[in-house]
A = this chain, B = another copy of it.
Amino acid sequence: MAAKTAIQDRADPLVRRYSEVRDLTCALAAPLSDADASGQSMPDASPAKWHLAHVTWFFETFILRDHVKGYALFDERFPFLFNSYYEAEGERHARPRRGMLTRPALDDVLAYRAHVDAAMQAAIPALDDEVKALVELGCHHEQQHQELLQTDILHLFAQNPLEPAMWPASPKVPVDMPSPIRWAEHPGGLVEVGHDGEGFAFDCEGPRHRELLHPHAIADRTVTNREWTAFIEDGGYRDARHWLSDGWAWVKENGVEAPLYWEKRDNVWTRFGLDGRRPIDPAAPVTHISFFEADAYASWAGARLPTEAEWEAFAAGRDCRSGNFLRTAGPVEPRPARGGCGMFGDVWEWTGSAYRPYPGFRPASGAVGEYNGKFMSGQFVLKGGSCATPVGHVRPCYRNFFYPHQRWQFTGLRLAKDI
């Protein structure tokens, strides 16, 4: 099922990089049937097949069509189907109707991938640097969709009473409960945050600039399932005082009583994951919570969420590749910390910062300028990456963003407080 790549092309580092990213996507989709890959469980999610094709369309459009003379589109009808939201690229199939695309078949989409891969691998070595930068952007773009492919499939499978597992479960390794939270204090002052221009970053991560921190303390680890259970048992979901007004309305309208995918069975809290339904691990970071839940928990705990700048300052200098990330296709889930205080991997951490532009931010010109800037209202920043994020994809300055009610990503929280 994986697209084959001739050995010789991989001599070029960008070809190698490109091919590794592309191969991982196919490996992630390998357990899926044509039907699995075509299902769409909600407007926020997309079919796996759509992800596979959309990232391919990105390369086909912004590299091959725009910069490779003589390239002919694989299928003239695909741009309409697989453009996501680029207004500059014209009309497109309505997002909530992506699940209607039972054709092209998964195999046709894989053929599309192979076709584009062959053209890309041939073309990359000769591209201008500016276009090579677009290839790099496309790789990062595809990595984002690798994560979405996993979380969207998880959401789809969660709708099925059969509760299918995408992967067999890994054996459980007993782990001690993490120690009580230790608070790292910061006296406040000016710090630098945002991307410094070294290596790849999305446009919204810069410019690098100074921010003023106020005196605060930040927790050395994320909140665990056991701690979350205490919040539930203390009536946290039934006490309006802890909740933002919009959050309380969301709780009541949706009857929310626990994180997404949690269910009490035989009096035991279980969660549904890519490896099926299993008891929750009390020592693991809580995940699949909305910003509203994260904020309510922090309020209940007498704390608050860290700001993005506090989080980034605390993360500065740490190895952003060493956490629990996606490294190879297979089951993923947040794991209990084993000493040290990882800021990266496991769960995306909600911050208390609205997703807004940095001083001096300018979107890139052209269609790719629609990548980030236009989403800067109503969403909150998350930091650090998750177990479903491909390793190497995140940085301390990485800015992920979701609406405060969304929780189908691997989202969690870390506490902070004023001092």
Interface residues of A (CB under 8 A from B): 33-39, 41, 49, 77, 80-81, 85, 87-88, 93, 97, 99-106, 156-157, 159-162, 164, 190, 209-212, 214, 216, 240-241, 243-248, 291-292, 295, 304, 352-354, 356-357, 359-360, 374-378, 380, 404, 418
Contact = CB atoms under 8 A, between A and B. Distances in A.
Given A105-B35, A375-B244, A77 B212 contact: no
Given A88-B240, A245-B377, A246-B375, 15 more contacts: A33-B34, A35-B37, A36-B103, A38-B102, A39-B102, A41-B100, A87-B248, A102-B157, A243-B374, A244-B374, A246-B378, A354-B354, A354-B356, A360-B418, A378-B404
A99 B360 CA distance: 46
Given A162-B77, A356-B354, A377 B37 contact: no
Contact of A377 (B240, B291, B374): B291
A161 B377 contact: no
A100 B353 contact: no
Nearest to A376: B244
Integer count of this chain's copies in the complex: 4
12 contacts: A35-B37, A36-B102, A88-B240, A102-B157, A102-B164, A190-B212, A245-B375, A352-B356, A354-B356, A359-B418, A360-B418, A377-B380
A49 B160 CA distance: 14
A7 to B, nearest CB: 34
Which 10 A-B residue pairs are closest in the complex by CB-CB distance?
Answer: A354-B354, A214-B359, A87-B240, A100-B159, A35-B38, A212-B212, A35-B102, A34-B35, A245-B374, A36-B102
A38 B247 CA distance: 30
B359 A356 contact: no
Nearest to A36: B102
B377 A81 contact: no
Nearest to A373: B244
Q: Count chain B CB atoms within 10 A of each CB in A102, A160, A211 and give the residue with the most.
A: A102
B161 A81 contact: yes
Contacts of A209: 214
Nearest to A244: B377
A199 B11 CA distance: 71
A110 to B, nearest CB: 13
B160 A102 contact: yes
Contacts of A353: 356
Nearest to A32: B102
A244 B87 CA distance: 12
Contact of A241 (B35, B87, B99): B87
